[in-house]
Amino acid sequence: MNRVTFLIDGFNLYHSAREAAKDLDISTKWLDIKKLCSIYLPLIGSLVKDKSKLEKVYYFSALAYHIEKI
């Protein structure tokens, strides 16, 4: 069984979720990141021809120096 670890870039996730909420007119306020990652496990398992298990989810972010301060 393959152990899978996800690395989530919080800055990109935040802005993607805001854009999706605006475009699709839905709420992304209660996004379950661990559940979202686990949904991808069957796809990963089919690519590597073996079952996959969610090992860890790391959520990180960095300061956005490229954005101008208002």
pTM of the model: 0.72
**C-beta atoms surrounding 52 within 10 Å:** 19
Place of tokens 């790391």: 58
Say yes or no to pLDDT of 63 above 80: no
The pLDDT of residue 6: 95
Q: What is the CA radius of gyration of the chain?
A: 15
Residues across the chain: 70
The domains of the chain are located at: 2-60
CA distance 62 to 4: 23
The pLDDT of residue 56: 95
The pLDDT of residue 15: 86
Q: Convert the pLDDT of each residue in 20-41 to its tens digit.
A: 889 998 888 888 999 999 999 9
Q: For residue 4, what are its two tokens? A: 């899978």
The pLDDT of residue 57: 95
Say yes or no to pLDDT of 70 above 70: no
